[in-house]
Structure formats: C-alpha cells, structure tokens
Amino acid sequence: MANLRLELPVLQNWSCHNCGGCCRQHLIEVTEAERQRIIGQNWTAADGVDQPVLAWHAGPPWKKRYRLAHRSDGGCVFLDDKGLCRIHAKFGEAAKPLPCRIYPFAFHPSGKSFTVSLRYSCPSVVANLGTPTSKRSNELRRMAEEVIPASAINSPAPLLTPNDRVDWTDLQPFVEALDHTLADPSTPIVVKVVRAIAWTTLIGQASFEKIRGPRIRELIALLMEAARLENPHVPESPEEPSRVGRLYFRTLVAQYARKDTVADLSSGVWGRWRLLRAIVRFTKGSGNIPSLQTGLKEVPFSALEPSFGPIDAEAEEILTRYFRVKTTGMHFFGSAYYDIPFAEGFHSLALMLPVTLWLARWHAVSDGRDRITAADISRGLAMADHHHGYSPALAQYAARRRVRSLVELGDLTRLCYWYSR
Ligand code: SF4
C-alpha cells in the first residue's frame, strides 16, 4: 500500500525472547496458500515432526478450514524443545503463517494512517523487554502492508456512541483526551481510569448530531475537568461493590480466567463439563474458586476480598503503559473490539483494571501471600489480555449488557477502587 503511515506506540519495547508461550496458547488458522506451503515443506520424523502438521478445525467437509496441529503437551507441532520454531529455523521467518509473524502486534485504521498496538498476552510486552517499537518502523510497515487490505484506508470511523458517528478528524480528540487522562504522572492509575470512566460515560450519553470541530474539544475539556474535580484522589474508605455488581463482575472475570488453548478447546465433553461447572461456581461466588489454569490454586472466593496493600511503582508503570498503548493504538473499540462504540469500548477496557487486580490477588493467594507484587499483576494482565478483544464470549450480548450495567450501577468505579486497595 503506497505511503502507508503508521502511528507507533512511543512507550513500548518488544523483542521475542523465545518463551514459546504464544505457540502454546494460540490457535493458528492458516490460509489455503499457507496450507499448501506447509505441505510442500515435507516435514518428517527426521525433522522432529512425527504427526500430521495440520488439523481441520472448522467449516463443512466441502469448505474445510485448517489450523496448525498441536502436540499432546499443548505446543504447536513446529515448536522445538528450545522454544524455537522449526519452520523459522529451516525455511526462514517469511515461511511461517502470517499470524505467527505478526504477533504480538495489532494494526488498526485511523483515518489516513494506521495505529500499532500490542497484545499483552506476551510476557515480553508486559515486561517492556527488547527494541523500542518506534525503532521498528520499517519492519512494522512491511507487516502492516501484508495485514491491512487496501480498502481499509477508506474505512469510516467507528461509532462514537450507539447513535453517532463522527469523522476521523473529530474522533481523534477523544483518543487524545483519553491518553492525556491516562498519562498524568502524578496521579495513581486507578484514579486516572476512574476519571476516564466518568467523562466517557457522559460522552456515551450525549448527542453529537450538532457538535463538530472545535466544539468537540471544548466539550471534552469541560467533561475532563468535571471528572477530575469529582475524583480528586483515591478515597480513604472505598465503597464495596454492590451484590449485583459483584455477580456481574464474577461472571465476566470467569471469561478472563479461563484458558482457551488448542488443548483446552479440544478437550471434548469433559472439558465443556468442567467449564460449565466452573461458571456455576463463579456465579455463586461462595466456596472455592475453581482452578482454571496451572499455578492458580482452588482458594476461597472470600480470600481475595481483604486489602492487599497499595499498587507499587513498578505495577503502576505496567498498568499505565498498558492503558496508554491500548488507547493510542485504538485497540478498544470499532474494528479492533467487536465493532463496539468508543465509550462502551473504553468501559470494557477499564474493566481490565479490576479483572487484572483480581487475577493478581488469586496468584498471590495461590503462592501463600496476602500482598500483591508487580509480578502478580504482570501474570494477571497477560492472562486477561489474552481474551480482551479476541474471545468471542466477550462480544456476546450478555457480556456487553453486564459491562453496561456495571457502569450504570456505579460498580465499575467501585470495583476499580475495591481491588486496588
Ligand atoms: S508455526 Fe512456529 S511460530 Fe507459529 S505457532 Fe508454530 S512454532 Fe510458533
């Protein structure tokens, strides 16, 4: 695509550290051209590949869709013992399927340019390890040219509210204002997220039929100032989330806590039965939390409710960077997030704060601690962001309705404060 302009995240570093996590976690669907290319690579037991390399995973027999096969230990059939890709080692990076080459980057249209965001399911992204993304512009441009269809340059801006769509120029101030709210270095992340929830909620309720151009910036500035005055600091005694709010939160957090690897998705009736039982227990919210992933023990739901102490500076940096990369990368609404409008999309992103903190508490309690560390928050964030924007369950009406109810009841704000104390 000629003259493709990319908006790169300035805060984020990344290089692959060969942990092999993505090659265990993700289902990689291949195109017909990729399937033919892999068949033509003639993999044999002598290469360390002693099973079929592709599996039919969707579509009718006359229009089969294929994915890379996984071994019984959960890893991609091409993942070797050192965490390296056999296709990459033997034929070079370009021979791998496109999703393997793109991960953990994500590209989204933004008018005449494209934003670049990253998936925090990758531990190197969470830890900010490697080359600054701003120094990878040539490589990212090449990737973007492969991923983005030529027609995307003319795509309309996503919805701002359920009833209003402004053009790309008028949408930009909303994204900039979110970044401005989240960037403030002197304010704790929880207060910044709560302020952003407050002013985006008002945006979601407003009508933009007659508000355009400079008046948009004036309106945003007014709403941001009101949100700042209403939420000056962390409350001394945060209010408990309501009973209904807790119920909705637990059903949502269950979606983020589950594991959707190929091995899990292929676990048949027994796997579905285990998941159903787990959802019932999350809905009840009493007794023990069912262990959904390795390293997370069955501990009482009530063990996650006392104060775990404040979020430390390292965790503040991780969470602030996460929210800023997702907002500047437009990775929370429109085509990047189930075609959901701006305000509702931000509320789903804001929910990632209590979800991550709840999962971090679960990690801490599983390790016998009553305080969370930045490492717990990193693990919780990597777990949760694996699903955010990618799990079909989060796009369903019921999940969206619950997020909207959390906002209407004031529970999204309460949950943010409750789990950050
Ligand atoms: S093909 Fe290579 S990069 Fe892709 S999932 Fe398999 S091992 Fe990982």
Task: Report yes or no: 93 and 101 within 8 Å, Cβ to Cβ.
Answer: yes
78 C-beta closer than 6 A to ligand 1: yes
Model confidence at 62: pLDDT above 60: yes
- In three-state secondary structure terms, 70 is strand
Task: Tell me which of 68, 71, 82, 103 to substitute to probe ligand 1's pocket, judged by most ligand atoms within 8 Å of the beta carbon.
Answer: 68
**HSE, side-chain direction, 13 A CA sphere, residue 319:** 34
pLDDT at 274: 78
Delimit the domains of the chain by residue range: 5-154, 157-421
Alpha carbon distance 323, 118 (integer Å): 11
Joined together, the tokens standing for residue 385 give 């962001």
Task: Report yes or no: 327 and 345 within 8 Å, Cβ to Cβ.
Answer: no
In this structure, the residue with its CA closest to atom 3 of ligand 1 is 100
Q: Output the CA 162–ligand 1 centroid distance in Å.
A: 39
Model confidence at 1: pLDDT above 80: no
68 C-beta closer than 6 A to ligand 1: yes
Task: Report yes or no: 168 and 157 within 8 Å, Cβ to Cβ.
Answer: yes
Give which of 343, 288, 383, 328 is closest to 159, Cα–Cα. Answer: 343
Q: Output the CA 56–ligand 1 centroid distance in Å.
A: 17
pLDDT at 2: 55
Looking at the CA of residue 88, tell me the nearest atom of ligand 1: 2
Give which of 328, 367, 350 is closest to 412, Cα–Cα. Answer: 350
Question: Vertex 126, ends 137 and 307: CA angle to 5°?
Answer: 150
Q: Which residue has the tokens 């940096």?
A: 317
What's the rounded mean pLDDT across residues 319-343?
Answer: 95
Model confidence at 376: pLDDT above 70: yes
Alpha carbon distance 54, 28 (integer Å): 10
Looking at the CA of residue 101, tell me the nearest atom of ligand 1: 3
Query: Each residue of 205-260: pLDDT tens digit?
Result: 988 888 888 899 999 999 999 999 999 999 999 999 999 999 999 999 999 998 77
Q: Output the CA 27–ligand 1 centroid distance in Å.
A: 10
Joined together, the tokens standing for residue 92 give 């070079």
53 C-beta closer than 6 A to ligand 1: no
Work out the mean pLDDT of the chain and round it to a whole number: 92
Of residues 270 and 248, more confidently modeled: 248
In this structure, the residue with its CA closest to atom 8 of ligand 1 is 23
Q: Output the CA 293–ligand 1 centroid distance in Å.
A: 22
Task: Tell me which of 78, 80, 103 to substitute to probe ligand 1's pocket, judged by most ligand atoms within 8 Å of the beta carbon.
Answer: 78
Would you tell me how many other CB atoms lie within 10 Å of the CB of residue 183? 15
In this structure, the residue with its CA closest to atom 2 of ligand 1 is 85
